[in-house]
């Protein structure tokens, strides 16, 4: 009953989406207010029906209704409740349902919060949003219905893939989808602007918060996925240049570029056509990511099952939306009025440079991800493009970008003073050089790359702070004045500081982890001691235990530093009977920002156990950086000028802000 209701709710959502994708457009054409307002009610109703459908699937999973194929294949009655819920999107059908639910959520939010939008713009945006929604409802209903029944219901399910039975699954996919799908809003706004043939700074002010929300979630989603892979897969890697990761990195790069070009458009009414193109590209890359992951053309641990009909269907959606929006762009973009002028050395110029590097880096990731596919289709040769390729292409493009990051905020709009900016960054530069020398001396000349990269990271971090010091007049005015100014500084300026500093923090973590990671691999017997980076790990013993739906072998290590007992670590190996598979649960010991990492290999007949121990210096900074970036994004979002649904600022306020 619940399954049929969920299915029916999804069909109704499709019907509503079809109405929403046509009537408001006619309304906008005929200037009929009632017809345009249809978009608002259908978007909200659509959200309610999709939410009902999603809730139905969750209910089926929670109550382990194995007469539904999706539940049978991905659940087990003994599975803990949290994994029964998260298992809903741990499979193809459920994750597509989550995808459209989030799409409907964003559509509903635009409908509810968009009362200050011009009526025709809102009608157009919601109509475009409904086109996307209709395509994906059709996809789910035709090829991936999660509510199919089995004629003879089995008693027990086949359980969720053990690797996915982790709290990471509860957080990572929803975050990532909020990011991916969030870019649909900027896409819809861009297409709406192209249809209307009108775009201005106010447009950028409406789009920016939505882009920012999507970007924050995507940043956190990628970081979360990276940390999940790090602790779950048992060998301490945190980024693999796997096509599935690249699929999420590409929209992030395009989205980061879009955020920066929206600033130019909002403040200076320039770069309009470029901003529209980036909005289209960011969502197109999200769709491409969905295609890569969901169609199974390049499958990795994320890519669940496949079926050629699904691949072809998503490819079709991809072609229609990307091809359609780019054609519309080619046809209509020239009709948009060009914006203001600026000198190459200026804030705008710096943001253009940022956009150039980000999109070029994005292009190299695109080539590295799709070239092996294209080659295999055309010549049949199989190649793998891995980390070395991306280190040689992505790295050299990102380094100059990092050098220029601190300069951007210090340059004035319209015409900047590079020399002045360089002078103000003198402190940061000197600090960076001192750090380079210190690190180099401390590691006794063990390679120049790592000290230089750390120096660069310090330059970015202190550069961000000196921008802040400059704005509040620290050291130039009395401390009280400076503090008062700091409080008065727009939140978006604080956001910039945090986000840019976060980039530096992440870079330090990446460099330290890759350069000074130490590794110990051996087979150990109880009583054996492993020494790594000054720590002593003694294998106390191995015991077995029974979990809810698995059995596990737990090894206990006592960790000593300078003879003093710090803690015990208990990595384990779990075997899941239902799927006949095993997972490795690594044990982590955090010391400051560094971590000890222990994972187990096979257990031999004579009681020896293969052990892999890592010491990862400052590894946590890799994820602290993105968290800082996201926090910066959140601060910007809370800026009153950008608050979602904030009323249009009055003329006088706008005048004040221009002076900042």
Partner 1 sequence: MTRKQRRLTIIGGSLAVLAVAAALVLNAMRDSIVFFSTPAMVAEKHIQAGKRFRLGGLVQPGSLVRGENLAVTFQVGDGSATLPVSYRGLLPDLFREGQGVIAEGALDSSGVFKADTVLAKHDENYMPKDVADALKKQGLWKNEYGAKPNDGAKSESNPGASRAAQGAPRPEQGALR
Question: Which 65-84 residues touch partner 1, going by CB under 8 A?
Answer: 69, 72-73
Considering only 493, 496, 572, 583, the residue that binds partner 1 (CB under 8 A) is 583
For every residue of 578-642, DSSP letters joined together read TTTEEEEE-EEEEETTEEEEEEEEEE-TTS-EEEEEEEETTTTHHHHHHHHHHHHHHHHHTSTTT
Query: Cβ distance 247 to 293 under 8 Å?
Result: yes
> Interaction with partner 1 in 90-129: which residues (CB under 8 A)?
90-92
Instruction: CB nearer to partner 1: give 361 or 465.
Output: 361
Instruction: CB nearer to partner 1: give 115 or 391.
Output: 391
Tokens linked to 314 = 């998503």
Give yes or no for residue 382 binding partner 1 (CB under 8 A). yes
Q: Which of 305, 322, 10, 311 is nearest to 161 (CA)?
A: 305
How far apart are CB 82 and partner 1 at their closest, in Å? 18
Give yes or no for residue 344 binding partner 1 (CB under 8 A). yes
Which string of x and - marks every residue 531-550 that binds partner 1 (by CB under 8 A)?
--------------------
How far apart are CB 92 and partner 1 at their closest, in Å? 7
> Interaction with partner 1 in 141-170: which residues (CB under 8 A)?
150, 158, 161-164
Give yes or no for residue 353 binding partner 1 (CB under 8 A). yes
Task: Give the span between the Cα atoms of 77 and 91, in whole angstroms.
Answer: 17
Instruction: CB nearer to partner 1: give 554 or 634.
Output: 554
| Dihedral angle computed from the Cα positions of residues 469, 472, 473 and 477, in that order, rounded to the nearest 10 degrees | -130
Give yes or no for residue 305 binding partner 1 (CB under 8 A). yes
Task: Give the span between the Cα atoms of 496 and 234, in whole angstroms.
Answer: 36
Considering only 190, 385, 507, 637, the residue that binds partner 1 (CB under 8 A) is 385
How far apart are CB 397 and partner 1 at their closest, in Å? 6
Considering only 316, 437, 475, 602, the residue that binds partner 1 (CB under 8 A) is 602
Tokens linked to 378 = 């055309």
Instruction: CB nearer to partner 1: give 361 or 499.
Output: 361
603 bridge partner residues: 609
How far apart are CB 632 and partner 1 at their closest, in Å? 25
Cα–Cα distances (Å) from 30 to 36, 224, 283, in that order, read: 9, 47, 30
Q: How many CB atoms lie within 10 A of CB 534?
A: 10
Give yes or no for residue 289 binding partner 1 (CB under 8 A). no
Considering only 568, 578, 582, 657, the residue that binds partner 1 (CB under 8 A) is 582
Give yes or no for residue 332 binding partner 1 (CB under 8 A). no
How many residues bind partner 1 (CB under 8 A)? The answer is 78
Indicate the DSSP class of residue 149: B
Considering only 335, 437, 441, 521, the residue that binds partner 1 (CB under 8 A) is 521
Considering only 141, 233, 370, 399, the residue that binds partner 1 (CB under 8 A) is 233
Task: Give the span between the Cα atoms of 230 and 208, in whole angstroms.
Answer: 33
Task: Give the span between the Cα atoms of 364 and 384, in whole angstroms.
Answer: 15
Count of CA atoms in the C-beta half-sphere (13 A) of 322: 17
Task: Give the span between the Cα atoms of 439 and 427, in whole angstroms.
Answer: 18
Reported residue count of the chain is 660
Tokens linked to 366 = 């695109």
Helix axes 167-196, 243-268, angle to 10 degrees: 40
Task: Give the span between the Cα atoms of 374 and 367, in whole angstroms.
Answer: 10
Stretch of residues binding partner 1 (CB under 8 A), selected from 85-93, 99-107, 532-540, 590-598: 85-93
Instruction: CB nearer to partner 1: give 149 or 538.
Output: 149
How far apart are CB 504 and partner 1 at their closest, in Å? 22
Which string of x and - marks every residue 172-211 that binds partner 1 (by CB under 8 A)?
----------------------------------------
How far apart are CB 364 and partner 1 at their closest, in Å? 5
Considering only 392, 430, 577, 658, the residue that binds partner 1 (CB under 8 A) is 392
Q: Is 581 left (phi over 0), alpha (psi -120 to 50) or beta?
A: beta
Rg (the chain; Cα; Å):
27
Tokens linked to 177 = 């989808």
Query: Cβ distance 264 to 201 under 8 Å?
Result: no
Q: Is 75 left (phi over 0), alpha (psi -120 to 50) or beta?
A: beta
Task: Give the span between the Cα atoms of 368 and 385, in whole angstroms.
Answer: 6
How far apart are CB 87 and partner 1 at their closest, in Å? 11
Q: What SS3 state is found at 11?
A: helix
Considering only 82, 356, 434, 658, the residue that binds partner 1 (CB under 8 A) is 356
Considering only 140, 257, 277, 361, the residue that binds partner 1 (CB under 8 A) is 361
Indicate the DSSP class of residue 237: -
Stretch of residues binding partner 1 (CB under 8 A), selected from 132-140, 291-299, 467-475, 494-502: 291-299
> Interaction with partner 1 in 465-504: which residues (CB under 8 A)?
none
How far apart are CB 509 and partner 1 at their closest, in Å? 19
How far apart are CB 545 and partner 1 at their closest, in Å? 18
Tokens linked to 660 = 């900042």
Give yes or no for residue 298 binding partner 1 (CB under 8 A). yes
How far apart are CB 218 and partner 1 at their closest, in Å? 20
Give yes or no for residue 341 binding partner 1 (CB under 8 A). yes
Considering only 172, 612, 615, 616, the residue that binds partner 1 (CB under 8 A) is 612
Which string of x and - marks every residue 393-432 that binds partner 1 (by CB under 8 A)?
x--xx-----------------------------------
Q: How many CB atoms lie within 10 A of CB 338?
A: 11
Give yes or no for residue 229 binding partner 1 (CB under 8 A). yes
How far apart are CB 403 and partner 1 at their closest, in Å? 14
Cα–Cα distances (Å) from 564 to 30, 365, 561, 640, in that order, read: 80, 47, 5, 53
């Amino acid at each position: 009953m619940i399954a049929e209701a969920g299915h029916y709710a999804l069909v109704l959502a499709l019907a509503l989406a079809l109405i929403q994708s046509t009537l408001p457009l006619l309304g906008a054409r005929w200037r009929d207010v009632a017809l345009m307002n249809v978009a608002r009610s259908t978007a909200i109703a659509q959200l309610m029906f999709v939410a009902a459908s999603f809730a139905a699937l969750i209910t089926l999973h929670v109550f382990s209704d194995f007469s539904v194929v999706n539940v049978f294949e991905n659940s087990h009655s003994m599975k803990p409740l949290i994994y029964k819920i998260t298992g809903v999107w741990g499979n193809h059908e459920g994750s597509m349902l989550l995808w459209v639910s989030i799409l409907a959520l964003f559509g509903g939010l635009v409908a509810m919060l968009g009362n200050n939008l011009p009526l025709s713009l809102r009608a157009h945006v919601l109509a475009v949003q409904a086109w996307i929604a209709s395509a994906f409802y059709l996809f789910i209903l035709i090829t991936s219905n999660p509510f199919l029944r089995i004629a003879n219901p089995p008693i027990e399910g086949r359980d969720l893939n053990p690797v996915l039975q982790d709290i990471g699954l509860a957080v990572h996919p929803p975050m990532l989808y909020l990011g991916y799908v969030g870019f649909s809003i900027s896409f819809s706004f861009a297409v709406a602007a192209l249809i209307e043939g009108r775009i201005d700074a106010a447009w950028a002010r409406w789009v920016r918060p939505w882009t920012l929300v999507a970007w924050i979630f995507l940043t956190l989603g990628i970081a979360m996925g990276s940390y999940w892979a790090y602790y779950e897969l048992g060998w301490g890697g945190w980024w693999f240049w796997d096509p599935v990761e690249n699929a999420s990195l590409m929209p992030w790069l395009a989205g980061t570029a879009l955020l920066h070009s929206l600033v130019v458009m909002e403040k200076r009414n320039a770069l309009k056509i470029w901003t529209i193109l980036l909005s289209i590209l960011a969502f197109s890359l999200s769709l491409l990511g969905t295609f890569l992951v969901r169609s199974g053309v390049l499958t990795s641990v994320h890519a669940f099952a496949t079926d050629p009909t699904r691949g072809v269907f998503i490819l079709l959606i991809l072609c229609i939306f990307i091809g359609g929006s780019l054609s519309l762009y080619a046809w209509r973009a020239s009709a948009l009025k060009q914006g203001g002028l600026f000198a190459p050395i200026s804030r705008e110029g710096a943001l253009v440079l940022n956009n150039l590097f980000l999109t070029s880096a994005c292009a190299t990731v695109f080539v590295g991800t799709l070239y092996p596919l294209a080659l295999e289709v055309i010549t049949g040769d199989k190649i793998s493009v891995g980390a070395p390729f991306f280190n040689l292409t992505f790295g050299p493009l990102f380094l100059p970008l990092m050098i220029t990051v601190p300069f951007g905020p210090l340059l004035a709009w319209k015409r900047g003073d590079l020399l002045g900016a360089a002078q103000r960054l003198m402190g940061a530069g000197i600090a960076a050089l001192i750090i380079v020398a210190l690190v180099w001396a401390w590691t006794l000349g063990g390679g120049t790359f790592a000290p230089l990269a750390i120096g660069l990271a310090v330059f970015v971090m202190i550069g961000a702070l000196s921008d802040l010091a400059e704005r509040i007049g620290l050291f130039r005015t009395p401390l009280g004045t400076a503090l008062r100014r700091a409080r008065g500084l727009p939140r978006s300026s604080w956001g910039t500081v945090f986000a840019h500093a976060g980039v530096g923090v992440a870079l330090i973590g990446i460099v330290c982890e890759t350069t000074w990671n130490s590794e110990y691999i051996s087979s150990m017997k109880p009583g054996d001691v492993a020494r790594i980076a000054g720590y002593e790990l003694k294998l106390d013993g191995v015991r077995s235990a029974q979990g809810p739906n698995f059995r596990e072998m737990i090894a206990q290590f006592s960790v000593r530093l300078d003879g003093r007992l710090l803690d015990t670590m208990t990595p384990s190996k779990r075997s899941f009977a239902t799927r006949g598979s095993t997972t490795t649960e690594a044990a982590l010991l955090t010391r400051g920002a560094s971590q000890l990492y222990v994972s187990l290999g096979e257990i031999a007949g004579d009681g020896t156990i293969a052990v892999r121990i890592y010491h990862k210096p400052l590894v946590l900074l890799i994820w602290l950086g993105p968290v800082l970036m996201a926090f910066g994004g959140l601060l910007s979002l809370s800026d009153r000028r950008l608050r979602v649904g904030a009323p249009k600022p009055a003329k006088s306020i706008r005048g004040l802000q221009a002076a900042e």
